[in-house]
Structure 1
Amino acid sequence: MTDAPDTPAPEAPEPAPPAATGPLVSVRGLTRQFRLPSHFLALKKPKLQALGGVDLEIDRGEAFCVVGESGCGKTTLGRIVMGLLGPSSGEIHFGGTRIDRLSESQRRPYRARMQMVFQNPYASLNPRRSVGQTLAEPVRALIPGSRAEEVRDRVIDVMETTGCAPDWADRLPHEFSGGQRQRIAIARALVTHPEFVVADEPVSALDVSIQAQILNLLADLREARGLTYLFITHDLGVVRHFGSRVAVMYAGRVMELATTAEIFARPRHPYTQLLLSSIPKLEGGSFSKERPASEPPDITRAQAGCPFAPRCPIAGERCRREVPKLVAAGAARCACHAVEEGRVAA
């Protein structure tokens, strides 16, 4: 691992300290559209509505899980919060400061406080950089003025914390297994001492036995470092043992929001019930509602009403013409006309 020169770089302005109260991360009315390929003479360019108005608040120290099937907008949400994608509309607040309108230079100090662990450990590491170089780079880039010994101390500390052996520092990513690579990716995310970590399907590409190790590591780091997670997954088994609160997403919208215990004990939205009924059970049995024989919605086409209505066994006429809002339903919040009207117990 090569050392950076000792000459201090000019210091960047420090971000405002986090607010003492209120959520750490707040998302309001977030939407995102992507243009789709089309004929250059087409008068109306098709768009994909990845997010259709998402409102979330993530409190300090919690493991906030976002769950849903592939294509529901989970990863898009995480990337927008991290600033890797821009929103089409809406607001993102971090520590009480709106950050979605900041320029890259203004946002740079926040990047040290917000880090991301990506899904594929085989693609998220630079194959030409050693582990030591990979871990040192965020410190040099995001904490200007860091001296060589400070960078080295941070790298050593984070490797010890995440269970990376000292001799890994001089090795290349191809020399490691998937679980070891994900430990390195987690170490890279933590080397700047962030407050907030977006973990995008961090264990989906790993063997089951390795998944447990990585999840335990993330849970231990949350306790030891006071981390706040936005944990993106499609695996409800992972959510049950890791999450403190859960947002269930479908077709770019939040269908239900509740604590993990509440979601599993009393799911209200028909889509949440459908997801939970798909979990394999050794003792057999599932929720009483039958699975609708239909395909996920085509989010490239504008659709009136609830996006889940075509697959919902209890959808009414109102469901097909009016988009439900996320409203209080007992101890949870639910976007369902049937719950609001009392056709499903709240």
Structure 2
Amino acid sequence: MSNQAKKTNPVTENTLKTINNLKVNTPPLFTEIIRAANKYQQQLTALSQAGSVLSDTIGRLTVHNAGEFGDGLRKLADTIRELELKREEVAKTMLNDFITPCKQAIENDQKEVLTFEKNFKKDRDNMRQEILKLEAKTRKAGKKTTPEVLKQQITELNDKIKESDQLNSNKLKDVVLMERKKLATFLSQFNQFIDKDVELSNDTNAKFTNGLQCWRDLINAQSQLPSEVESLISKQERTLVQIQPQGGDADNYRISYAPGKVPNSGSGGYDTYESYDSYDNYDNYDNNAGGDYSQDYSAGAEMQARALYDYNSSEATDLNLRAGDIISVIQQDDGSGWTKGRDSYGNEGIFPSTYIEYC
């Protein structure tokens, strides 16, 4: 055998090295990547589920908090819910577009590499046998044939060696491209996950940036009363303050009231009184009006309220509500957060004060 045939071919060495990398080293590494990606995907899914629970819990605050703070809390809950739905999409992309294809690729790539190695070794061995035969014929021709025949044998041998070199070069090119294709496919699959993750990040920044000013305004307005509450507090209403003897007669008493308003029969509106005593001028407005206001404005009159939300309770002392029900208020909220009322069926009980509005 010639020195060239015996000499280790660097092209062949690189081909075998690349085959070995694809067959032996790469699969375990990709298996580790898939295992890590699985854990990451599971954590994403768990985070998305936890975020949805957080959103629902924040949303429950809006049941008892109306107005601007209710709107702000609702916006926060909706923002978190939308982002967690997007995070769920990211987790699904990681599973469907990266983890699953990578698992399938490991087995397929292994088969492809083993087939390539088998064909490469077969072609290389066949080429080596042909070179050995030509070397033998060349040596024989050098001893027994003419110079022309020897020259022809040497030419055939050189051509076969060149063919062998070309075969090795082609095989090295094919296996290196195979390796590059595998890595490029890996990056392409991972990029689909990255694209979704970047989309989530951009959406998160946009939605939270959009809501930040709204929530900052609410934080800064914490010491301000809502307009409806301010109006309710500043509104003057008739208030019973004491019972006083009338004209020094211990058996004759009159009811005195704080400054407030009484119905005006002429205009259909209200007249105001500024002191306890001035209310006496309106003591007989019922008779002068020609109508009966005693039921609506007497101290014992019941106010009407409308239920804003459903309220279902298993407590015997509670009154269940349905949104839209008209409730007669028997006892107003004394600061405890509960009001006592009667529904249209005659059922009586207490319920959260924030669940009604007065008619």
- Which has the bigger relative contact order, CA under 8 A and spacing at least 6? 1
**Structure with the larger helix share:** 2
**Structure with the larger strand share:** 1
TM tier relative to shorter chain: under 0.3
Normalising by structure 1, what TM-score? 0.19
Q: Which has the larger radius of gyration?
A: 2
Normalising by structure 2, what TM-score? 0.18
